[in-house]
Amino acid sequence: MKYPESRVLVFTRAPVAGQVKTRLVPLLGEQGAADFHARLVHRCLETVTGTGLCPVDLWCSPSIDEPFFQSCRTRYGVRLQRQIQGNLGQRMQHALVSALQTCRGAVLVGTDCPSLTSRDLDASLDELQRGTEVVLGPARDGGYYLIGGNTAEPLWFTDIPWGTSAVLGETVARLQRAGVGYHCLDERQDVDTPADYRRLHANGVLSTHRGPTAAPGPRE
């Protein structure tokens, strides 16, 4: 492994119909949206484990006992961790702090960015190894698809307006005020809305996946 003392953390939820990708339900239906979510998880895990850059943890909600997560552990060789209760910031900070107790740098990604590449992961881990304090992967909707650090301060995660277009800007502003050195990766497109879904399909991003879950088509 290129970064044996680092770790990638993948944050996700079990693909339960009606509980994931709810903004895509009008387009795909509840089960179709859940199947698409599962497909994104597989795609992300293929990317992060296929690089062989460092160990990978899958941070699961609501429980690591879900059959879907157990199958992911078997298929990809990831270690399963359970997300704590709380808002997104609390859960992410806890995961990063937990990982940093046993590694030198950690990168956390969600599963909503199918255009995430091994180059993004390599660049983020390299920045942390060279001493950059925080790495961010900007998303086009104003959030971020990746955050990495050698520490995980509460300031970066507390009272952030999660789910809005102000997430990245507020996070960067806090880092700047605190004098924290940071690096931004290339901007990527998350897939949360029907417009995102159609755009990525039109660009061929979603059609390149060859995992075990077939791509759902739009609901008739």
pLDDT tens digits for 60-91? 999 999 999 999 999 999 999 999 999 999 99
pTM for the model: 0.93
What is the per-residue pLDDT for 213?
43
Q: Does domain 6-174+194-208 have CATH number 3.40.50.300?
A: no
Q: Which long-range contacts (CB under 8 A, 24 or more apart) does 74-78 make?
A: 75/45, 76/45, 76/46, 76/49, 77/49, 78/10, 78/45, 78/49
3-state secondary structure of 147: strand
Cβ atoms of residues 188 and 143 within 8 Å = no
Amino acid at 26: P
Instruction: Give the pLDDT confidence of 10-58 residue by residue, as tens digits.
Output: 999 999 999 999 999 999 999 999 999 999 999 999 999 998 999 999 9
Kindly give, in sequence order, each residue whose CB lies less than 8 Å from that of residue 13, ignoring residues fewer than 6 positions away: 19, 20, 37, 60, 61, 62
At 201, the pLDDT band (50, 70, 90 cuts) reads confident
Cβ atoms of residues 152 and 128 within 8 Å = no
DSSP label at residue 216: P
CA dist., res. 143 & res. 32, Å (int)? 25
Q: Which of 209, 135, 200 is nearest to 168 (CA)?
A: 135
CA dist., res. 107 & res. 134, Å (int)? 9
Instruction: Give the pLDDT confidence of 92-139 residue by residue, as tens digits.
Output: 999 999 999 999 999 999 999 999 999 999 999 999 999 999 999 999
What is the per-residue pLDDT for 214?
43
